[in-house]
Structures are given as C-alpha cells and as structure tokens.
Structure 1
Amino acid sequence: DMTLTLDTQKLPIELTVWPNGKDGYTIGLSYETALYSRQDMEVFIHALANYAVHATKEGTRLSDIELTTDDEQEELIKLGTGERMEYDPSETFVSLFRKQARLYPEATAVVDEDSSITYAELDRRSDILATALIEAGVEQDAFVAVMLPRRKEFMLAVMAIFKAGGAYLPLDCDYPKERLQYMLEDAEAKVLITTDFLEQIDFNSDCLPVDNSKPESLAYMLYTSGSTGKPKGVMAEHRNLRALVGWLANMLRLSHTDRCAEHASFCFDASLFDLMTPLTVGAQVHIFSDTLRHDLEGMNRYIHEKSITGMTLSTQLGMELINTFDDLPLRYIVAGGEALQPTRRTSVRIINGYGPTEFTVCASYHVVDQERQYETIPIGQPVPGSHLFIVDPNGKLVPKGMGGELCLSGKQMARGYRKQEELTREKFTDCPFIKGERMYRTGDLCRWNEQGELEYLGRIDTQVKLRGYRIELGEIENQSLKYDGIHQAVASVYDGLLLCLYYTADSDIDEGVLKEFLSQSLPDYMVPSTYMQLEALPLTPNGKVDRKRL
C-alpha cells in the first residue's frame, strides 16, 4: 500500500514504513509541494515500492534490481530514440560540398573581415592544397594542425585536409606555448599549416580534383579539458560529421539563400555548426573576426548590414543578444554550452542544443515555444540517428521523471580519445540496450519530464556540499531566474560554508526581498547568504560563465 500526504512534515520529504497486518507494509510519503510535484513523488514512491518487492526475493543482488518494469523500459527506449536518418552512407562532407560547387559555382561560399571566396574557387584552391599535403606525406587518419587567423583561409585548409584524407587539428594562437606543444606532439601532426605555409603554395597552378575522404576515416580532433591536467584529444570520423550536418541543415531549414555567421572559436566543437553545415546546402559562411566576436554592438550592426539569417552562440551571449536588441533579422539562433534561461519574447527561432564533443557537438535539441511558460527549458528530443538513455549508478534505466546519468549512442559517436585507450574503454562502453552499439557515458544528470522531453539537471561531478548538505547549484540558479528583472544568475559555494549568488538585472534589487523570495521555494540551507549584482557575468573564451573569476 502507498499513500501521499502534502505539507505535514518538518523536512522536504518524509518517508514512513509500517506493517499493515496483511504480511505486508504500507509506505507513506509526505512532501513539500513548493519543492516537488505530485507526479515526481508518484514516480519516486512507485520505483521505491518496485525496488522493495524485488529486494525481498532471496538471493537478489541489490545492484541487479531494476527500477522499471519491462513495459516501462520499452517505453523509455522508444522515448530516447531519434528519427531514422536516410542518406547515402558513402557520402562525406566533401562530396556534399562538391554537389553545391557544381550547382552554384559563382555563389559566395565564405566571407571574412575584408574578402570572400566562391564555391568554385574554394573547390579549385583546396584541390591544389590537398595535392601539396599528399606530397608532404598526409594520408588516411594523419593529423594536420591548422594555426590560422579567422579568415577564409581556415576553411580552405580544412577542405584541403579532408580531400587529402587527413584530419584537421585546430590550434589557437592565444593558447600557451606549452599547451600548443603538447597538442602537436600528442597528435604527431604531419604538417602545420600557417599563413607562411600557404604563401608557399602556387594557387594558380593546374590540378586534378582530389578526394581521399572516406566515411570511416578521421575528420578532425578537438582537445578538451582532462582530469589529469593534460587536454584529451577527441577523434571524430567523417560519418559522424556527415550525420551532424545532415539533420542540422534539415532542422534549421537551410537553403542556398541563407547567410550564416560563424562566431565560435575554431577549437570549439560548436564551430562545426556554422563553418561546415551551410556549405552542404550552398549557403554563405560569414566568419566573425576576433574583434567582432567580442563586440555586441558591432555584431548587431553586421547582422543587419549583411542580412545574416542564423548563427550559433554560447547560451550567455545568445541570450544577451536577444535581450539587448529588439529588431534582430535572424531566423534562428542555436544556443548551447550551458542551461538556457527564459528570455523576453522574440521573433527569432531559438534552438536549445545539448551535446558533448564526444558525440559530435549535439545529441538533443529543443525549439523554444514563445507561447509556453517554462519552469525549466528542456534540452528536448534526441537528434535523428541517436539513442539517449538515463541510467542509475548500476547502469539500469531509471523511471520517467527520475534523474540519472545520460548515456548516448548512435551515428554521431566519436571514435574515442587519442592515445588514451583506458579512458576510451571507460567512457565508450558496449551498449546494454542495443546489441552491437557503443554507448558514451556523459557524466551529466538528466531526466525525462512530464512531456517526454529531456531536462538537464547538472553534472554528476559538480554537485557541491554546503555545511554537510549535498546540493545542485543549478536548482538555486533556476529559482533565482524566476524573480522579476533578473536575467542571469550563478551560485557558488566557498569553503563549504558560504553560499553566494551572482546575478545581472534590469535595475537594483533589494537583497532582503530577493532572499525572502527564494526562501519560499528553497529549503533554508539552499538560500544564499550573500548576494552580488553585476553589470555582466565574466565569460570564458568559449562564451561560458567563468566561475573562477567570480
């Protein structure tokens, strides 16, 4: 037997179990309605009862107990399965680009600060450079490092590397020398393409078309932070990239009339959205200069002057752009990297994207509904050709509504980490739900909400302890954003004792009133004791909130 009681307890949740006189037990659950919904509690008590029934069976190992029934597991797997993708498996980014070069040879392909290049010229010049790379020893799966400014020549280099059969490794000139040296040595790069290197190539020479790219060969490697203190190289294949640009172009409804702005660092996986995808449909790519990337007013002017139709931005920068300017001509903004927070109404189509570098940028997305009142903006539905699973610490599927670790499987799964076989085996495991498939463990806490949409809850490894309580800072931040006038909010804990809230707002906010507001929805130990209003939150080079500078 199970009963639910509201608001009669002293703690957020109180669980009571007592014999019912029928060789069984009654489970009573009391909870605070300001913190939990009835549906969440029903999911919890149902899973608990199911767990208890199985635990009483002799010889049962607790780690083997399923929290879900067979029917529920079937429903969860269906919920996490993206649409089927139908395309020629032999296609690569190069073959898709070449189709557009034949269709629109004189159309502009890439625009930078003061120059541009057509589809035909990009195709011809990259053939010449690819031939030179092959002569320099570049072959299948060989890495070619690229250290170039944010100009059209970067895309020229990438296209040539693809055609030569190699994989590109972007390097940022602003990185410390020690980090750059490590990346070059770890990748064992065959060639380093710089401005000086390109000046030695005769781009007026004749050359036959070249294309050694294959679906199963490596396309690129991007380095991400590593727990050992050394960056780890994530290796992705052409078939991963092909899957990404295919569904993305379709979801964004891209055509040859679009003009897409590339804002992200070339070393950041989000650059693939706006650098690669438009070139598969005949659209223009506008590469923002380093100066323009950090000038919000300048970005707004450029968007208007060049009739930019779409772009990908970090969540913080995307929301700042929308909240600052009223008449943006953009059709869409893809926002990602951090939890998306509600904004004012806009005609711009906002797509909330989620995904790690290990899954070729994006694993799920949600198109924001301007008419909907969100408690939390979800990260949505699985992308086509992918499978999403939410599991407990034992790898078992958790019930709908319950949090667990998000695991990914599908066509965008990267090959693994460079020279880190043990870590690759740990993070890229055999998928227990789909025979013959691999599965990537993200380390992200997620759940399926009442509408069957994926919600991001935080990181497994970034939950913090405050005076003995384990808390998720994202919950405090989300509640703070419900206060009228607050646009951005970040919570931090210091020395396990002090909880501070940083926020930006339209006008000065009375800290006492804000604290009282938060105390109505958060338990006392989760209400910040210190408040600091800022003009703007500090950002990292990739546009995420820089918590270290707070």
Structure 2
Amino acid sequence: QGGERLGALSAAHAAYVIYTSGSTGTPKGVTVSHESLRNLVAENVRRYALDPDSRVLQLVSPSFDVSLADIWPTLCAGGRLVLAPTRLDISGDELSRLLRTRRVTHAAIPPTFLSQLPPEELPDLGLLITGGEAMPAEVRRRWSAGRAMYNQYGVTESTIISTTALIRDSEGPPPIGRPVANTQAYVLDASLRPVPVGVAGELYVAGAGLARGYLGRAGLSAQRFVANPFGPGRRMYRTGDVVRWTGDGELVFAGRADDQIKMRGHRIEPGEIEAALASCPGVRHAAVTIREDRPGEPRLIGYVAADDGTVDGRTVREYVTGVLPEYMVPTAVLVLDALPRTANGKVDRAALPAPDFAGRVTGREPRTATEEIFCSLYADMLGLDRVGAEDSFFELGGDSI
C-alpha cells in the first residue's frame, strides 16, 4: 500500500497484538500501543544501561511477549542480540557455552533454567534478569555474586514488565520490587481499598504500560481493565495476583487470587509458602498442598526437591518457621527426588504423596504414668499406633485445634 494512503500514526495506535497462552480458557489477543512499547524500551535501556557494546541473550521464542523485552530495547540501544537455539530441550551445558563463547553481557533466564546451568565463570555476564517463579536460595546465592541480578514481575496486559527488584543474597523470598517508570501499583481489598503494609491484597497496575485491551472482546476488557479510583478518567488492570507491601516499599508475591485457600479461619496463600520453602538453602523446587487424609482434619503439607546434596524436611520446616506466620507453616515437609510434573511442566499436585506421620515417631518410650496417659491420648488423636514421650505433637500432624 502506498504511503499516501496510510493514515497518520500516533502513539495510541496498536504496535502489536499478542495472544496469551490460554491456560485458563480461550486465548486472548492483547493489543499493545506504541506508547506502551516505547515506555518499556526506554525503561530497559535506562535501568540496564544498554548501549552499542551490549550483547543480550535472546532465549525466549518470539511467540511470547517476554522476547520483546530483549529484542526492542537491545536494537534501539544499538546492541547485539545473541540468539539461543529455539529448541525446548536446550541443555544447561549448551546455554552456558553460548553465554561464554559469545561473551553475553545481559541475559534474562528463568530460575528453573538457572538451577540447571553448570557453575562456570562467566566474567562478561554483568547483568542477569530472572522472574516468573519462586527463586531457590541457591540460585540467588550463586548467580547474584559478582553481578547485578534483578527479579522482574509483569503481565502481558501491562507490556511485559510492571515491577522489578535488585536481588541481594538475603534470607526469605526475594521481592518483586517497585513499579517501573511511569507505572503505578495498587494493593487493594475486594472493595478496591488499599490494604496496610504487610497485608495481602490483589495487585492492580496502571500507567503508561497498560495495554489497550483485548482484541474484539470489549466485555472482557471492561471486566479486567477497570476504572482507576486513584486517577479519575484512567484505567487500571486487575492482575489476579496476590501481593503485599514490605516496610521498605517493595512488593512480595504471595500467589494467585484464585488459588487462595482458607484453613481454620485463616486465608492462606500457597504461592507465598512455596516461595518461602524455595528460599531455604539447598532447596531447588517447592510445592504445597492441603491434604485431608483423615475426614475433617485438613493439613498443610510442603514438598521440596533438593538441590545438589540432601535436604532434611525437619530443617526446612524449622527454616520457614522463622519466615512465615505460624498458621502458614506446613505440618510436615516431605523431601522428594523431584516434584511430579504434568505434561505441560506444571506440578502434578494429585500425584504428591501422603506424608507418613507414623514414620516420624522416633522419641523415647514414656517412663511415668503421666507420660503414658499423654502419649496414649496423642496417639489416639493423631491416628497413630504410638507416640514417643519427646516427639513433637505438631510434627506428627497435630495442631492447636
């Protein structure tokens, strides 16, 4: 088509349409404007100091919007893209060799993949970006040493990146940080009121990165892109993710709103518990579920897969006791060789094994009549043949109720 027939282009016009994975239903086409894409490019070039000497890994397929956060900022800064093989089965050794031989300076790699890379020296890799899942403590410790490492959070509907945090080697789950440039983040209750610091609420994002909406689906757009009570005439996007503010103004991811469970009067965020488990030294992957192996007795059970070496479930439980509120600490933590996975790579929660509380009875036999009575009562309450006089009531499946 001749240029004379084209209408004037503005920042509000669509730059691209990209479809979500459709994991929760029919795939949705998200329309993103030139203004939103420009904001992403400017933010990444500035924050990550991209320039003509930058060599940026392109790991993700262009069919995913995350790839655009590598492609456009790099090209606009005059840098070079280092293309990784698009095969799904690329090995850690292959990727490590690519990073080393091409002298990659910037890379965005998910935590799961980082845990598979051999611990080689990569002196040129000065900046590493990760996100999208819980980060094991070992990954954070190994990869944050000697370089800048960022944890990012974002959604397609807010042009890929909404918040980011500079990672430090500290205890506890890493935060997802603060809003990027020209972006606002609100943590709200069901009535769209801000919640206090430390209280979990649903995350809403607004600002220059907000997409125009879903292509051809005005009704769905109106449900998810809602009026912003903090900016008259503006919109905000309901992410469906649960987060909380920390005292120093950063956000911590707690899970999905539709994954929330209620147990003994407490609202529990499985994602927050899984992140705490994964932050324990020596843990590679973590999952949590509620089991009711005895009717009327729900129990919160954690599962971890060890990093190199072995991990003791009791040690992991003691660790999260210092990180989580008491009501969110799993009754037991089981250590598995690997977490069971579905065909699409997600944790197969139905295949997670039941804990063997009977096998945890290790204490000495009761020596007094009082000990005999209490051990007998506890064994009856917990459905066990016996309980040792020094066994932990809670680690055997008991609770305060």
TM-score relative to the length of structure 1: 0.56
Structure 1 residue aligned with 2:249: 452
Q: Which amino acid aligns with 1:336?
A: G
Q: Name the SS for the 1:290 alignment partner.
A: coil
Give the CA deviation at 1:503. 1.8
Give the CA deviation at 1:344. 1.6
Structure 1 residue aligned with 2:334: 531
For each residue in 1:181-216, what CA deviation from the matched residue of structure 2 results, as whole angstroms up to 9, or x when unmatched? xxxxxxxxxxxxxxxxxxxxxxxxxxxxxxx86422
Q: Name the SS for the 1:344 alignment partner.
A: helix
Structure 1 residue aligned with 2:192: 395
Q: Which amino acid aligns with 2:289?
A: S
Taking the aligned partners of 1:454 and 1:547, their CA distance within structure 2 comes to 25
Q: Name the SS for the 2:239 alignment partner.
A: strand
Instruction: Within 5 Å, give how 1:117-516 maps onto structure 2.
Output: 134=1, 214-226=10-22, 229-291=25-87, 294-321=90-117, 324-327=119-122, 329-342=124-137, 343-345=140-142, 346-370=145-169, 373-464=170-261, 470-493=267-290, 499-515=301-317
Taking the aligned partners of 1:535 and 1:227, their CA distance within structure 2 comes to 24
Instruction: Within 5 Å, give how 1:11-26 maps onto structure 2.
Output: none
Taking the aligned partners of 1:299 and 1:534, their CA distance within structure 2 comes to 24
Contact conserved, 2:54 with 2:105, CA < 8 A, in 1? yes
Structure 1 window deviating more from structure 2 (350-359 vs 520-529): it is 520-529
Give the CA deviation at 1:411. 0.6
Contact conserved, 1:308 with 1:329, CA < 8 A, in 2? yes
Structure 1 residue aligned with 2:359: none
Q: Which amino acid aligns with 1:340?
A: M
Taking the aligned partners of 1:452 and 1:305, their CA distance within structure 2 comes to 39
Contact conserved, 1:339 with 1:456, CA < 8 A, in 2? no
Taking the aligned partners of 2:342 and 2:72, their CA distance within structure 1 comes to 25
- 1:547 equivalenced with 2:347 (yes/no): yes
For each residue in 1:416-451, what CA deviation from the matched residue of structure 2 results, as whole angstroms up to 9, or x when unmatched? 012221111111112111122211111111122111
Q: Name the SS for the 1:489 alignment partner.
A: strand
Taking the aligned partners of 1:436 and 1:525, their CA distance within structure 2 comes to 40
Structure 1 window deviating more from structure 2 (398-407 vs 470-479): it is 470-479
Taking the aligned partners of 1:390 and 1:540, their CA distance within structure 2 comes to 34
Taking the aligned partners of 1:398 and 1:524, their CA distance within structure 2 comes to 20
For each residue in 1:106-136, what CA deviation from the matched residue of structure 2 results, as whole angstroms up to 9, or x when unmatched? xxxxxxxxxxxxxxxxxxxxxxxxxxxx48x
Instruction: Within 5 Å, give how 1:25-40 maps onto structure 2.
Output: none
Larger Rg: 1
For each residue in 1:504-532, what CA deviation from the matched residue of structure 2 results, as whole angstroms up to 9, or x when unmatched? 32212344554565567664784254624
Contact conserved, 1:270 with 1:312, CA < 8 A, in 2? no
Give the CA deviation at 1:285. 1.0
Contact conserved, 1:260 with 1:274, CA < 8 A, in 2? yes
Contact conserved, 1:292 with 1:299, CA < 8 A, in 2? no
Contact conserved, 1:489 with 1:504, CA < 8 A, in 2? no
- Size of the aligned set, in residue pairs, is 339
Q: Which amino acid aligns with 2:275?
A: N
The verdict on how the C-alpha distance between 1:454 and 1:525 changes in structure 2, with shifts beyond 3 A counting, is closer
- Greater relative contact order (Cα < 8 A, sep 6+): 1
Structure 2 residue aligned with 1:97: none
Structure 2 unpaired stretches of 5+: 352-401
Q: Which amino acid aligns with 2:305?
A: Y
Contact conserved, 1:314 with 1:337, CA < 8 A, in 2? yes
The verdict on how the C-alpha distance between 1:472 and 1:254 changes in structure 2, with shifts beyond 3 A counting, is same
Taking the aligned partners of 1:419 and 1:531, their CA distance within structure 2 comes to 47
Give the CA deviation at 1:303. 0.9
The verdict on how the C-alpha distance between 1:532 and 1:400 changes in structure 2, with shifts beyond 3 A counting, is closer
Contact conserved, 2:316 with 2:333, CA < 8 A, in 1? no
Taking the aligned partners of 1:482 and 1:229, their CA distance within structure 2 comes to 32
Contact conserved, 2:19 with 2:28, CA < 8 A, in 1? yes
Instruction: Within 5 Å, give how 1:35-184 maps onto structure 2.
Output: 134=1
For each residue in 1:50-79, what CA deviation from the matched residue of structure 2 results, as whole angstroms up to 9, or x when unmatched? xxxxxxxxxxxxxxxxxxxxxxxxxxxxxx
Q: Which amino acid aligns with 1:436?
A: G
CA root-mean-square deviation: 3.2
Q: Which amino acid aligns with 1:350?
A: M
Q: Name the SS for the 2:63 alignment partner.
A: coil
Percent sequence identity is 30
